[in-house]
Amino acid sequence: MQFNFTEMWNSMGIIAKSVVFVLTFMSIYSIAVGVERFVVFSRAKKQSNLLLKLISKLWQEGKIEESIKLSSDKKFKDSHLAKVLVAGLNELEFQGEKGALDQDQIDAAKRAIERATIKGVQEFKRGLNALATIGSTGPFVGLFGTVFGIINAFQSMSVSGSSGIGAVAAGISEALITTGFGILVAVVAVWFFNSLLNKVDIFTGEMANASSELLDYFIKYKKSKGA
């Protein structure tokens, strides 16, 4: 006797069906988080590339106020580089107005940039912990449904009084569906997690490089101005 998915679903116990619902929710959540993060990362990358092209000349001329205004523009609101640059530039301007020494300005700007970088990385990682959890627990959730499905199959065999592999084959095949589904959900979640985490690492490096370039431009400008 061959079972299709409709017949398998109808013959599943309440626990196995509940597991399928849970895995379906986990799958939908993983895809939703993955797609949303990819959209956010793509927008951040595009805006940051444009910002760097426009702001380099302002750095070379030491125009801090203009740089702050440009980085604060709404069209760069999703740029990860804009956030760290605004933090650094604001601190440089603030320390300059206080009459702080050049080194004190640089040290204060570094601390502001570090705080902004940490905050930016935390924002980028939003949802990634959930993906990691789904990726690690998905197979076990599926296995949980399989265990109860097999128990249900043996109970049915006991009630019917029949024996042999043929008597439980259909029930076991139904039970194994939850394990297969759990593995599939985990694979999707892990793929999204690893891909997104790699992008976060790249963005973290870009923020560090951009902030370093900003401070280098500031130091060169101060030296040329004092010469």
Domain extents in the chain:
5-222
Stated pTM of the model: 0.80
Separation between Cα atoms, residue 192 and residue 49, nearest integer Å: 24
Look at residue 105 in the predicted model and tell me its pLDDT. 80
Model pLDDT for residues 94-109, shown as the tens digit of each residue? 877 776 667 788 888 8
Q: Higher model confidence: residue 148 or residue 160?
A: 148
Model confidence at 155, pLDDT cuts 50, 70, 90, reads: confident
Separation between Cα atoms, residue 126 and residue 129, nearest integer Å: 7
Model confidence at 227, pLDDT cuts 50, 70, 90, reads: very low
Cβ-based neighbour number of residue 153 at 10 Å: 21
When the pLDDT of each residue in the chain is averaged and rounded to a whole number, the result is 83
Q: Higher model confidence: residue 140 or residue 154?
A: 140
